[in-house]
Amino acid sequence: MYENRAPSVMGLDTVSKAAVMVPLVKQNGELGVLFQVRGRNLRFQPGEICFPGGRMEPNDLSEESAAIRETCEELGIHADEMVMIGPLDILVTTHSIIYPFLCQLKDGAPLHPHPDEVEEVFIAPLSHLLEYEPEVYHVPIEVSPPADFPFELIPNGKYYKWRKANMAEYFYRYQDYVIWGLTARILHVFIEQIRGQHIGLE
């Protein structure tokens, strides 16, 4: 049974899965990263800055196809106006798995952002992001069992020493925009990989 079995991630079927695109755009002869400002009337995270993307749907053939579909829907472009570069590191949270991908929009690709989902788009020069040092704040994560938790079943009961952790929150500022949250975490890893020359861009 286990000899030829490929391992997976425990709980993969119980968490939400999403795919996002990190779009590079050449502007004034310089590469930049395109961001979206979410529509103010959206139910979740209105007005926040994000990359194009969203939850995977049952008919998506792969994580990459989901990222392409969402990008086309949100930016109002065609798939053939994107040049796929490759996948970025997968982001795993307590409730979701996010698959980021890197692409470059072809020169002159017209953008028609979906008015219900995207309030505006903006481009931050890659040179600025490479030189910028984000603000970093560490948010403590602690276990807080409910009152009906069966403490009698575990060693030391109510005095059990739960492990504590800290989550780094990054804040990038560009003009009047503030990029933070999962978008900033994906951006931070991407920028650090370029600095470490793990990803080559022209």
pTM for the model: 0.89
Domain of residue 72: give its range: 16-132
Asked if the structure places residue 118 within a domain, the reply is: yes
Asked if the structure places residue 4 within a domain, the reply is: no
Please give the angle made by the CA atoms of 60, 61 and 63, to the nearest 5 degrees. Answer: 75
In the chain, the percentage of residues whose pLDDT exceeds 70 is 98
Rounded Cα–Cα distance for residues 123 and 118 (Å): 14
Asked if the structure places residue 45 within a domain, the reply is: yes
Structural domain count of the chain:
1
Asked if the structure places residue 83 within a domain, the reply is: yes
Asked if the structure places residue 166 within a domain, the reply is: no
**What is residue 199's predicted lDDT score, i.e. its pLDDT?**
56
pLDDT digit string (tens) for 137-189?
999 999 999 999 999 999 999 999 999 899 999 999 999 999 999 999 999 99
**What is residue 8's predicted lDDT score, i.e. its pLDDT?**
82
The two counts, helices (H) then strands (E), for the chain are 3, 11
Average pLDDT over residues 58-87: 94
Please give the residue that has the higher pLDDT: either 153 or 116.
153
Average pLDDT over residues 89-108: 93
Out of 99-103, 166-170, 197-201, pick the least confident.
Answer: 197-201
Q: CATH code at 38?
A: 3.90.79.10
Asked if the structure places residue 200 within a domain, the reply is: no
- State the DSSP code for 106: P
Asked if the structure places residue 201 within a domain, the reply is: no
Asked if the structure places residue 120 within a domain, the reply is: yes
